[in-house]
Amino acid sequence: MPKLLLPALALALLPAAAFSQPKGWNDPFPPFKVMDNLYYVGTKELASFLIVTPQGNILMNSDYESSVPVIRASVEKLGFKFSDVKILIAGHAHPDHVEGDALVKELTGAQVVVGRIDAPKTREFRPGGKDHPIDRLVDEGDTVSLGGTTLTAHLMPGHTRGCLAWSTNLKENGRTYYTFIECSLNGQFLQALDNYPGMIDDFRATYKKARTFPVEVFLSSHASFFNMAEKYEKLQARKQGDPNPFVDPEGYKAHVDQYEKTFEAAVARMQTQGAAKGGGQSKQ
C-alpha cells in the first residue's frame, strides 16, 4: 500500500486548541480498586493509576499540573501516602498526561519514566517555566519493576510518535489476568495531532499490533475510552461471584475496531478536503 501523507491544509492547522483543558475533564472522581494492587486515582476523564507494592508505589500519568491535587486527594482517600510514590510513568507526550510530572516529582521525589521517542516532546511541557524532569528513558519491551510488580512497555505510535501502552498481570480469585493500559488509539482528530511524517502508516500498524495482545483487563489513558464510569457503577453493585466489569476483552476489541474506523474516516475526509482545495494527495 502506498504511503499517504496528510494534505498541506491539515499540516497547517495548529494543535494548540486541542491541548486546552476541556471543561469537566479535571473534575474529581471517586478513587477505587480496579483489581489486585491497581487502583484508579484519576479525574473524571483523565485516567491515572496507582500500583501499590511493599516497596512503594507506582503512579501512571500525572495529567495536567492542576490534576495533581485531585490525584493526591484520591491517593490519600484510599489510605495511601502520596509521598510513597516512587516511580511515575508516562503514557504519551501530551500535556493532559504529563504536564503534572514536575509537581509530582517535587512532592514525592519519584523517578520519572518516559518513552525515549516521546522525550523531546515531553520536555516541551514546562508549566510555570519549570524544567520537565526525566530520570529514565524506556523503549519497546523495557520493563519497570517495583515490589514484585512488573510493567512492560509497548510502543504504539500514531497518537504521538512514541505512544507507550503498558501491560502487567493482576490476580483475583485465584486467576491471573493480562492487563493492558492502552496509550491512545484516537486518530479521529488528525488536524489536532502532531502530524509527523509517517503518522498515518504508524496508526495503521498500531491498530494491527493492538489486536495481537491477549487483553483481559482493559484500561486506557482516558476514562471514556474504557467506559470507566459505567464499569465503576457495576463494580459498586457487584455481588460475590459476579465477574469484575473491568475484565472486558470484547470491549477492548470493539474499542480497537471503533477507533480504526474513525481514523480511516478522518484520513478520507482530509484527502477529500485537500483535493477540493487543489492540494491533491501525496504518494510515495
C-beta of residue 116 within 8 angstroms of C-beta of residue 79: no
- What's the confidence (pLDDT) of residue 276? 61
- What's the confidence (pLDDT) of residue 275? 62
Is residue 118 pLDDT above 90, yes or no? Answer: yes
What's the rounded Cα separation, in Å, for the pair 150 and 136? Answer: 16
Provide the percentage of residues in the chain whose pLDDT is more than 70. Answer: 88
- What's the confidence (pLDDT) of residue 191? 67
C-beta of residue 29 within 8 angstroms of C-beta of residue 77: no
Question: DSSP letters of 94-111?
Answer: SHHHHTTHHHHHHHH-PE
Cell of 276: 477540493
Q: Give residue-wise pLDDT tens across range 128-139.
A: 999 999 999 999
Q: Give residue-wise pLDDT tens across range 171-220.
A: 999 999 999 999 999 998 776 666 888 999 999 999 999 999 999 999 99
Average the pLDDT over each of 84-93, 162-171, 272-281 and give the range with the smallest value: 272-281
- What's the confidence (pLDDT) of residue 66? 96
Is residue 19 pLDDT above 60, yes or no? Answer: no
Indicate the domain borders of the chain. Answer: 8-276
- What's the confidence (pLDDT) of residue 15? 42
Q: Which is more confident, 98 or 192? A: 98
> Phi and psi (nearest 5°) for 116?
-60, -40
Q: pTM of the predicted model, to two decimals?
A: 0.89
What's the rounded Cα separation, in Å, for the pair 176 and 174? Answer: 7
Q: What is the mean pLDDT of residues 158-178?
A: 97
- What's the confidence (pLDDT) of residue 56? 98
- What's the confidence (pLDDT) of residue 192? 64
| Domain 8-276: CATH class, spelled out | alpha beta
C-beta of residue 182 within 8 angstroms of C-beta of residue 218: yes
- What's the confidence (pLDDT) of residue 2? 31
> Rounded mean pLDDT of the chain?
90
- What's the confidence (pLDDT) of residue 123? 96
Cell of 218: 482493559
